[in-house]
Amino acid sequence: MKTFTINMTVKTRPAMNYHEGNTNTIDHIVYDVYGFDMADADGTAVVTITMKDGFDPVQSFVKELEEQKRKVTEAFTAKLAAIDEQLKRFTALEMA
């Protein structure tokens, strides 16, 4: 397993309702955690992340990018075909 430790910044605010739809609300106070420094931070937190054995984020990123490329290529090809069709129509009009 691979473990990462990240220092986070904590900012607090009153909760609008008890749970406010998130898990970082305790005793009517929301603890928002950020991955960057804030001058007006209320505190800090240390987050430890343990990744599963064999987890390879690069593989999933590559798969996602390949899917985006496929969609963009498909859209480009369709647009190019539409432009070619318009060119054929205008060329036919010129020759008529």
DSSP annotation string for 4-57: EEEEEEEEEEE-SSSSTTSTTEETTEEEEEESS--TT--EEEEEEEEEPTT--H
Alpha carbons 48 and 45: distance in angstroms, whole number: 10
pLDDT tens sequence for the chain (96 residues)? 889 999 999 999 988 876 556 678 888 888 999 989 889 999 999 999 999 988 888 988 999 999 999 999 999 999 999 999 999 998 887 776
Tell me the whole-structure pTM to 2 decimals.
0.48
Lookup: tokens for 61: 């990123």
